[in-house]
Amino acid sequence: MKYLLLKIDKERYWFEIGGDSCANRQIILDEYGRFYVSCLEDCLSEGPIDVTELEGDRVYLTKKEFENIWQTILKPYKEQWEEIKKKYSIGAYVQGLNKYIYPQGTVIKGEDFLAIYKGEDPFYINKLVQYKIDSYDDKNMWLVVA
């Protein structure tokens, strides 16, 4: 994994880049001081990232530095995540809509949760799907469904 901070004027982009050169996690700070986090909304860079072609100031980070900012920004959502895990136990079935595809799988949006599906079912945007909860992805605060 590579960890990168990209500075463009007042905007900041933090990336966790996997071996396939795709972003696995991303944080965006816009020019108005608002944060966007890839585990909560669709803001992950699409396709491989060629770091040499990025405009702006590049700063390579350690995993620890990236994790610190990731955890700091997600801290306000931790209590809600713990409640979601209590509400949706492993083995239960959940319904939601296919929303977007990430390198980790298909992101499904439920009434009050996000889930990740890593299987082979075809992806159709906004299709209602039902899956069984297999585990939890605490790092991204996602239900993992199969």
pLDDT at 6 (0 to 100): 98
pLDDT at 132 (0 to 100): 98
Per residue in 36-80, pLDDT (tens digit) is: 999 999 999 999 999 999 999 999 999 999 999 999 999 999 999
Strand order in the sheet with 57-61: 35-37, 23-29, 11-17, 2-8, 57-61
Which structural domains are found in the chain, ordered by start?
2-77 (no CATH), 88-145 (2.40.50.140)
Per residue in 123-142, pLDDT (tens digit) is: 999 999 999 999 999 999 99
- The structure's pTM equals 0.93
